[in-house]
Copies of this chain bind each other. A is one copy, B any other.
Amino acid sequence: MAQPQIKKIGIFKCGNIGTSPLLELLLDELADRKDIKVRTVTTGSKMGPDDVEEAMPKMFEFNPDLLIVISPNTSLPGPRKFREKISSSGLPGIVISDAPGKRAKEEIEQQGLGYMIITGDPLIGARKQFLDPIEMAIFNSNVSKVLAITGVYRIVHQEIDNVIYAIENGQKPDLPRLIVDLKVVRDRSEFSNPYAKAKAIAAYGLAEKIAEINVQACFIEKDSEKYIPLVTCAHEIAQTAARLAEDAREIEKGNDTVMRKPHSKSGKLKIKTKLMLPPVSDEEFYDENVS
């Protein structure tokens, strides 16, 4: 009887943004969740229509209950193709993309899909004089730390979790429609110290700046004397942003107020702050912290 409750989450990644590499892991960080299975198919760093076309069918053959597609700029032909496919399949679908993806916002809404556009998930400095596999990995490491600590990854998994819960309960899910910008980070980040929060927002602001500079460096400047300093500068900002985010978390650690929300085996989030105490349900947590 438990069997019917196991829902299958299909994730399709084409190309890469900072939210991509760990996305499926965010949903089941302890690998002990009994209510879902996750299957991911990716086309690596490439995101051309051919790549998508070839890989897409495998995703659907998994018979997922929920589909998530994540890519840079979802308005490009490759990701668009996948969106169309979800839309026509009638399955609930969520699109995750970076700032340029904003352009597709209306289209996505018309397709009946949810979306999370993450303005601080910045374009990488993709210039051959600068970017090699190591530099690429370092950049992803830094961006990932920023998105984790500032609360963006929390928003991402909670929004998906909510959709899953609805599906599990046989309800029509409320798909997220969110531009995750600096203000959303400010309003939804989970810090108890206001300076920690300010540092986190600052880190996110830096991530937005990276995007701005890398767009200039990758698409506008033509002379290597001009764009090498810019991509290098953008990656320096990524490193700085990661440190700043870390500083924010260190403050919470110093006060023993880090908020943690592990998934329980049933899939529900538990919640805790004091490190030596066990996580509890939302109700218990807020009861305790109010009374």
Contacts and interface: CB of A to CB of B under 8 A. Distances in A.
B137 A153 contact: yes
B195 A128 contact: no
Nearest to A189: B229
A174 interface: no
Nearest to A158: B133
Nearest to A161: B133
Q: Indicate the size class of the contact surface on chain A.
A: 35 or more
A275 B137 contact: no
Main secondary structure of the interface of A (DSSP, over half): helix
Interface in A213-256: 213, 224-226, 228-230, 232-237, 239-240, 242, 244, 246, 249, 251, 253-256
Contacts of A13: 40
Contacts of A24: 42, 44-45
B263 A133 contact: yes
Interface in A147-190: 147-149, 153-154, 157, 182-183, 186
A195 B254 contact: yes
A61 interface: yes
Contacts of A41: 39-41, 58
State the number of copies, please: 6
B157 A133 contact: yes
A183 B263 CA distance: 29
A201 B230 contact: yes
Interface stretch (A15-23, A86-94, A98-106): A15-23
Contacts of A44: 24-25, 27-28, 31, 37-40
B254 A199 contact: no
Contact of A22 (B21, B197, B225, B264): B21
Contacts of A15: 31
A195 B37 contact: no
B202 A278 contact: no
Interface string A32-74: 0000011111111111000100110010011000000000000
A154 B136 CA distance: 12
A272 B199 CA distance: 21
B55 A29 contact: no
Interface string A1-24: 000000000000101100001101
A259 B100 CA distance: 32
A132 interface: yes
Contacts of A140: 21-22, 25, 144
Interface of A: 13, 15-16, 21-22, 24-31, 37-47, 51, 54-55, 58, 61-62, 126, 128-138, 140-142, 144-145, 147-149, 153-154, 157, 182-183, 186, 193-199, 201-202, 205-206, 208-209, 212-213, 224-226, 228-230, 232-237, 239-240, 242, 244, 246, 249, 251, 253-256, 260-264, 270, 272, 275-279
